[in-house]
């Protein structure tokens, strides 16, 4: 009898836990502690009887509850108490409120609801949890005790390329508030008043746009950090120091209360650690501390990753010793694009004498613009929260599509130990279409073919199409059942692309995804024909095989043409879908099917599905992984965005599988008078021949070649640093044209 009672009790507890899990799966980030207080569900109230103290007058947390659409009425039967620790209305719950900043206590019962925050933002987050938990039209009686693991969590708009629109930024700020991210750092590289014209105040129209953003950020509990980037041309003079202070004061008058100073991706005079520390300390002492309402200053240093530290860590140690203790220091990890672990955090914290503030370069795609990144967010340590002062993600220029990753960034930084990348990604997909399971399914289908970044200069890759790995391997070996599985997946991808291309519920996402949807549809159609070739080839007459083969070839050409169409990104051509697994698998199936048919039928169909005739080799660490792309007669190397350190013997060589005839060449290392530092040589298959380099005028950064280049036969091209000393330059463009 006792065993039966224990079993019955266990089943009741399990049922309660399952209900609780179902309810909390609607809440992001995952709460720290949840306790079910009763069985069953409560109906969603039609009106709130909201009780607050006068101290909450004008509270954005209370306003957020009103925005839910549920009527607020003093006559409503359900009493909702909202307060911050110290408010009279939540006095009896004071001991239940977490001591951590931004923490909250939430209690839901049929007798009423209590939301009590450790501070105003904590109250706001408690309201967000309440609203999220009732998204399916019902409430579960429970108690939630919750707080963030990381103090500063959010986003840095710090990518190269087209900055986000005003509409996109407003949508982002709403998103941050909903999912408990408290930082937005405004630092788009292509905003001239942030970087190139940092001394100049914003024109009136642009200033008004920023004020609108600042007001929205305030209503969403977000610290709006405005970043200034003076390092490109700063002079360590009183005049420039005062110009920077004047610009900060102008931004303060607009309403900014959080500031960052960036010195990333520069070299030369602006990159001196002692001068940077001196300037930041002056700003801290004479601006931040004197204002009394300004958040801690944030610095993005010049050496912002471990791979560049070198030189006995002198730069980092200088910052650590000299910077005022209240100044935050940003860090990208062991390299420019890298996941963060405990060892790497201990390494940097020891040098900068404070907890590092992570700038995570994901899902940013400014160095792989031919890809869009929609996969799970993973790779960072789950035990590093105590070692961080902040964690912000650098997103894609595609603001809406970035929300898939940012949803999980919010989850990860709030509650690391309970973070599960797969579950979080599934919830993120649902959040993009919260009321439409059908569109959730098609977005999920499309997203799994847009996870990997492809070959890139940072060597950062993601696993793609995990569900297809086993079938793909068997399909390449000729397994018929596996080939049919691949064909079925191609059909699903085709249907997903069709539906997303005509979606009306999320037009911003549709607009951003459109080039990749068009390419994904072509990849799927190609896969359908390729799989048909593989399954039916041995019994097919030549004319029918030729018809399917020609369709597959046509789709290969269409994919190539689309990459070169006006849909491509102007700064980095290309539109890639499924390159991590699906497309390479289809190309192998194609080649195998054609070879098999040729052998059986003595035909000569061309089995080559993809041909890359050019490769790059380099002893410059930051260049050796850059992809080479051939499109028509143009052959180019993908540009690098950060400063390149060329050692004295640094060189890179592009090799061609077969000789080509050169028609022209130019490249850009981002600085004038650099032609004299480098040597260009062309290998004709027998000898290396030097080609002269020049600038057309003294201020030009583009390097041109002498007239002798035209008509040269080339099997390899080599560029070497001949200056005899290390050079720090950009790598903005390299292209040659073949006849």
Catalytically active residues are: 265
Phi then psi for 434, rounded to 5 degrees?
A: -60, -25
SS3 sequence of 117-178: ECCHHHHHHHHHHHHHHCCCCEECCEEEEECCCCCEEEEEECCCCCCCCHHHHHHHHHHHHH
Facing residues of 690 across strands? 681
- Terminal alpha carbon distance of the chain: 90
Q: How far apart are CA 125 and CA 221, in angstroms?
A: 9
Closest among 68, 104, 112, 111 to 83, alpha carbons compared? 104
Sign of CA dihedral 162, 165, 171, 174: positive
- The full length of the chain comes to 739
CA distance 20 to 40: 10
CB contact set of 287 (below 8 Å; sequence gap of 6+): 245, 248, 249, 259, 294
CA dist., res. 674 & res. 733, Å (int): 14
Between CA 568 and CA 397 the distance in angstroms is 14
Are 269 and 308 contacting, i.e. CB atoms less than 8 angstroms apart? no
Residues with Cβ within 8 Å of residue 17, at least 6 apart in sequence: 36
Would you call 83 helix, strand, or coil by DSSP? strand
Q: Please tell me the distance from the alpha carbon of residue 303 to that of residue 433, in angstroms, as a whole number.
A: 40
Helix (H, G, I), strand (E, B) or coil at 592: helix
Which of 382, 364, 385, 360 is closest to 373 using CA atoms? 364
Q: How many Å apart are CA 691 and CA 570, to the nearest integer?
A: 29
CB 450 within 8 A of CB 575: no
Contact between 638 and 672 (Cβ < 8 Å): no
Q: How many Å apart are CA 639 and CA 456, to the nearest integer?
A: 10
Specify the residue for token string 């057309």: 696
- Nearest-angstrom CA–CA distance, 668 and 700: 9
Q: What H or E segment, with its residue span, contains residue 602?
A: none
CB contact at 8 A, 314 and 333: no
Q: Which of 441, 550, 455, 418 lies closest to 496, judged by CA?
A: 441
**What does the alpha-carbon distance between residue 115 and residue 144 come to, in Å, rounded to a whole number?**
9
Question: Do the beta carbons of residue 122 and residue 105 sit within 8 Å?
Answer: no
CB 380 within 8 A of CB 340: yes
Strand ranges for 301-420 from DSSP E? 328-331, 356-360, 388-393
Contact yes or no for 16/40 (Cβ under 8 A): no
* Angle between helix 542-563 and helix 582-601 axes, rounded to 10 deg: 150
Instruction: Round to whole Å and give the CA distance between 251 and 186.
Output: 12
Task: Name the nearest CA neighbour of 519 among 563, 486, 580, 488.
Answer: 563
> Is residue 390 a contact partner of residue 152, using CB atoms and an 8 Å limit?
yes
Contact status, residue 108 vs residue 141, Cβ threshold 8 Å: yes
* Alpha helices by DSSP H, 415-541: 421-432, 437-447, 469-476, 480-501, 507-536
């Amino acid at each position: 009898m006792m065993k039966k009672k224990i079993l019955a009790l266990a089943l009741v507890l399990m049922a309660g836990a399952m209900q609780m899990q179902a309810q909390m799966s609607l809440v992001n980030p995952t709460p720290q502690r949840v306790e079910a207080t009763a069985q069953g569900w409560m109906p969603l109230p039609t009106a709130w009887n909201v009780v607050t103290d006068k101290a909450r007058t004008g509270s954005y947390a209370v306003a957020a509850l009103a925005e839910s659409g549920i009527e607020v009425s003093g006559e409503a039967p359900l009493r909702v108490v909202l307060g911050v620790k110290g408010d009279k209305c939540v006095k009896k719950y004071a001991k239940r409120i977490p001591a951590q900043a931004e923490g909250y206590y939430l209690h839901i019962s049929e007798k009423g609801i209590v939301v009590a925050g450790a501070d105003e933002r904590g109250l706001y987050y408690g309201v967000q949890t309440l609203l999220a938990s009732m998204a399916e039209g019902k409430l579960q009686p429970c108690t939630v005790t919750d707080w963030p693991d990381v103090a500063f969590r959010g986003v840095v708009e710090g990518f190269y390329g087209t900055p986000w629109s005003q509409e996109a930024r407003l949508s982002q700020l709403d998103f941050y508030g909903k999912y408990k991210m408290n930082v937005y750092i405004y630092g788009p590289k292509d905003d001239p008043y942030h970087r190139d014209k940092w001394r100049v105040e914003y024109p009136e129209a642009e200033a008004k746009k920023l004020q609108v953003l600042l007001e929205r950020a305030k209503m969403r509990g977000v610290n709006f950090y405005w970043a200034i980037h003076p390092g490109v041309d700063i002079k360590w003079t009183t005049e420039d120091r005062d110009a920077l202070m004047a610009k900060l004061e102008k931004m303060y008058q607009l309403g900014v209360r959080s500031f960052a100073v960036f010195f990333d991706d520069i070299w030369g005079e602006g990159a001196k650690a002692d001068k940077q520390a001196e300037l930041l300390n002056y700003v801290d002492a004479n601006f931040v501390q004197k204002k009394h309402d300004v958040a801690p200053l944030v610095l993005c240093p010049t050496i912002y990753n471990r791979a560049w530290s070198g030189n006995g860590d002198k730069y980092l140690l200088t910052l650590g010793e000299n910077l005022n203790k209240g100044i935050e220091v940003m860090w990208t990890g062991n390299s420019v694009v890298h996941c963060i672990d405990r060892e790497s955090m201990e390494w940097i914290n020891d040098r900068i004498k404070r907890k590092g503030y992570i700038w995570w370069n994901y899902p940013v795609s400014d160095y792989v613009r031919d890809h869009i990144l929609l996969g799970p967010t993973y790779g960072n340590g789950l035990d590093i929260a105590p070692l961080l002062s902040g964690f912000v993600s650098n997103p894609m220029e595609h603001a809406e599509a970035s929300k898939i990753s940012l949803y999980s960034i919010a989850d990860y930084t709030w509650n690391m130990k309970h973070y599960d990348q797969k579950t979080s990604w599934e919830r993120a997909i649902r959040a993009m279409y919260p009321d439409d399971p059908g569109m959730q399914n098609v977005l999920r289908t499309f997203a799994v073919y847009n996870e990997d970044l492809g070959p890139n200069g940072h060597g950062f890759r993601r696993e793609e199409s995990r569900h297809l790995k086993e079938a793909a391997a068997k399909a390449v070996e000729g397994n018929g059942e596996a080939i049919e599985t691949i064909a079925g997946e191609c059909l699903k991808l085709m249907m997903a692309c069709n539906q997303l291309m005509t979606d009306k519920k999320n037009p911003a996402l549709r607009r951003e995804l459109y080039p990749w949807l068009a390419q994904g549809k072509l990849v799927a159609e190609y896969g359908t024909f390729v799989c048909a070739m593989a399954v039916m080839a041995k019994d097919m007459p030549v004319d029918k095989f030729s018809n399917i083969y020609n369709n597959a070839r046509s789709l290969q050409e269409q994919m190539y043409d689309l990459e070169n169409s006006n849909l491509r990104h102007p700064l980095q051509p290309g539109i890639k879908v499924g390159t991590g697994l699906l497309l390479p698998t289809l190309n192998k199936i194609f080649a195998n099917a054609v070879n098999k048919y040729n052998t059986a039928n003595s035909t000569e169909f061309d089995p080559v599905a993809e041909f890359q005739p050019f490769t790059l080799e380099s002893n410059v660490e930051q260049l050796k992984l850059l992809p080479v792309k051939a499109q028509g007669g143009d052959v180019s190397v993908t540009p690098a965005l950060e400063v390149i350190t060329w050692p004295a013997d640094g060189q890179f060589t592009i090799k061609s599988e077969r000789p080509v005839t050169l028609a022209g060449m130019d490249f850009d290392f981002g600085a004038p008078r650099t032609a004299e530092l480098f040597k260009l040589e062309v290998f004709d298959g027998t000898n290396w021949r030097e080609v002269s380099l020049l600038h057309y005028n003294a201020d030009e950064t583009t390097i041109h070649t002498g007239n002798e280049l035209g008509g040269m036969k080339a099997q390899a091209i080599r560029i070497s640093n001949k200056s005899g000393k290390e050079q720090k330059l950009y790598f903005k463009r390299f292209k040659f044209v073949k006849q």
